[in-house]
């Protein structure tokens, strides 16, 4: 449903600016969970922002369901890593989830219904009237996910959403992501630097190479559904893909260290 064709991104001057992404071509299929993993600083966030329509490519095209992406498309909802600055601190949990629907959904009752469903699916019933800063980090990220779900996108783009959370919360939220994928029937693109996470969640892992970002490998993950934090990770297939991803990333990291190029924040 989402296609990138020869996408290149230079920051600053179109000819001489820093090359962040070069000639990126890949497809995201409907209802797939695709994880994008790569060494830190490899430009994963740039790729995600291009897909979200927040950045314009210097060359190449991005299209969703055949239509070119020139601004943030309605089909995509974005969940940021920095939940603290992504939620509006002056709005309650329910208001945060409802805010993007204000113009999109005219009828108040429908809106309230959507908010309630979304909050229920992330396990936040009873927290509607709280403010984000009254919640723990994991719960704040649940609010952000609920906001994405209430928007009813075809695709949820997640940018290292659990990077700042502790291991247990993280595992809970990974399973939550897989549950809502089934419940809401959506496509998920999940950027992470955590290799286990990238394999556990994915139908397909895209391994990114060092800057300028390119697709180092496109690996299918053949693990049975539903996934389980313990059992799925014991399977030989998990170990095989995990090692494969790991080796490639280690190679990339070493390549990045030796190549002393100037760095741009990812």
Q: Does 90 bind another protein (CB under 8 A)?
A: yes
Find the part of the chain contacting another protein (CB under 8 A) among 3-11, 26-34, 97-105, 195-203: 97-105
Nearer to another protein, 22 or 45 (CB): 45
Site map for another protein, 236-255, x if CB under 8 A? --------------------
Q: Which of 8, 35, 58, 86 binds another protein (CB under 8 A)?
A: 86
Nearer to another protein, 104 or 247 (CB): 104
Q: Does 89 bind another protein (CB under 8 A)?
A: yes
Q: Which of 72, 129, 224, 226 binds another protein (CB under 8 A)?
A: 72
Is 156:73 a contact under the CB 8 Å cutoff?
A: no
Is 31:184 a contact under the CB 8 Å cutoff?
A: no
Q: Does 53 bind another protein (CB under 8 A)?
A: yes
Q: Which of 2, 58, 69, 80 binds another protein (CB under 8 A)?
A: 80
- DSSP string for the chain: -EEEEEEEEEESSTTTSEEEEEEEEEEE-TT-EEEEE--TTSSHHHHHHHHTTSS--SEEEEEETTEE-SS--TTEEEE-S-HHHHS-TTS-HHHHHHGGGTTT---HHHHHHHHHHHHHHTT-TT-TTS-GGGS-HHHHHHHHHHHHHHT--SEEEEESTTTTS-HHHHHHHHHHHHHHHHHHT-EEEEEES-HHHHHHH-SEEEEE-SSSB-EEEEEE--PPSSP-TTHHHHSHHHHHHHHHHHHHHHHHHHHHHHS-PPP---
- Shortest reach from residue 74's CB to another protein, in Å: 7
Q: Does 100 bind another protein (CB under 8 A)?
A: yes
Q: Which of 74, 113, 237, 254 binds another protein (CB under 8 A)?
A: 74
Q: Which of 127, 151, 162, 190 binds another protein (CB under 8 A)?
A: 151
Which 131-150 positions form the footprint of another protein (CB under 8 A)?
131-134, 147
Residues lying near another protein in the complex (CB under 8 A) are found at 49, 52-54, 71-72, 74, 76-78, 80, 82, 84-86, 88-91, 99-100, 102-104, 131-134, 147, 151
């Amino acid at each position: 449903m989402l296609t990138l064709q020869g996408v290149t991104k230079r920051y600053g001057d179109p000819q001489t600016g820093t090359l962040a992404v070069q000639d990126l071509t890949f497809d995201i299929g409907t209802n797939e969970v695709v994880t994008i993993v790569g060494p830190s600083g490899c430009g994963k966030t740039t790729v995600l922002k291009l897909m979200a329509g927040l950045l314009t490519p210097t060359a190449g095209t991005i299209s969703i369901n055949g239509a070119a992406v020139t601004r943030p498309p309605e089909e995509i909802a974005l969940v940021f890593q920095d939940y603290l600055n992504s939620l509006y601190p002056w709005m309650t949990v329910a208001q945060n989830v409802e805010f993007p629907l204000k113009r999109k959904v005219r009828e108040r009752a429908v809106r309230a219904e959507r908010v309630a469903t979304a909050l229920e699916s992330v396990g936040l019933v009873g927290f509607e009237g709280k403010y984000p800063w009254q919640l723990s980090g994991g719960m704040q990220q649940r609010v952000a996910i609920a906001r994405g779900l209430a928007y009813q996108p075809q695709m949820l783009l997640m940018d290292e959403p659990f990077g700042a959370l502790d291991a247990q919360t993280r595992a809970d939220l990974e399973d939550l992501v897989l549950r809502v994928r089934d419940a809401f029937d959506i496509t998920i693109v999940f950027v992470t630097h955590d290799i286990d996470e990238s394999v556990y969640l994915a139908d397909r892992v895209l391994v990114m190479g060092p800057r300028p970002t390119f697709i180092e490998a496109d690996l299918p993950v053949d693990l049975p559904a539903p996934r389980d934090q313990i059992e799925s990770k014991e399977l030989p297939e998990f170990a095989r893909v995990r090692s494969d991803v790991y080796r490639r990333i280690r190679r990339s990291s070493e390549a990045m260290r030796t190549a002393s190029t100037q760095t741009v924040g990812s």
